[in-house]
Amino acid sequence: MSRMESADDYSGLVIQLNPNWRIVECRDCLQWVLQHRGSPKKSRRDDWRGRSYCQTSEALRRCTREDAGVIDPSAAAVLAALPERIDAPLTQQIGGAESCGMFANDGRRHDEAA
């Protein structure tokens, strides 16, 4: 797993929304980042680029609606289940994860993902 936010195998992946959009937690666990694939017109077309940077799930859902297009229904469920804020008390985190970067792309903790 990579620590580079632009990498396909970035360890902070929260959910893949569709082939061209995903949500990650930033390296410092300060915000969620809505990312899209790089432009096919640029030399680095396959990397991930940040589009929106959000600390609240409400803002993240709004940005996702405005920018990401049609998303997978299971991704929508994970997005809806995110805590109100990325820095929410641990009891509000999905699946009871104890720290940032603990989620697999299906909302399960990384140590629960098969």
| pLDDT tens by residue, 69-90 | 999 999 999 999 999 999 864 4
Q: Is residue 63 part of a domain?
A: yes
Residue-level pLDDT, tens digit, the chain, 114 residues: 888 888 888 999 999 999 999 999 998 889 999 999 876 566 556 789 999 999 999 999 999 999 999 999 999 999 999 999 998 644 444 444 444 544 444 444 333 343
Q: Which two tokens stand for residue 79?
A: 């997005």
Q: Is residue 92 part of a domain?
A: yes
Q: Is residue 47 part of a domain?
A: yes
Q: Which two tokens stand for residue 59?
A: 């803002």
Number of structural domains (the chain) is 1
Backbone angles phi, psi at 66, to 5 degrees: -75, -30
Q: Which domain holds residue 84?
A: 13-96
Q: How far apart are CA 42 and CA 45, in angstroms?
A: 6
Q: pTM here?
A: 0.74
9, 10, 11, 14 alpha-carbon torsion, rounded to 10°:
-100
Q: Is residue 104 part of a domain?
A: no
Sheet holding 21-25, edge to edge: 13-18, 21-25, 32-37, 48-54
Q: Is residue 110 part of a domain?
A: no
Q: Is residue 3 part of a domain?
A: no
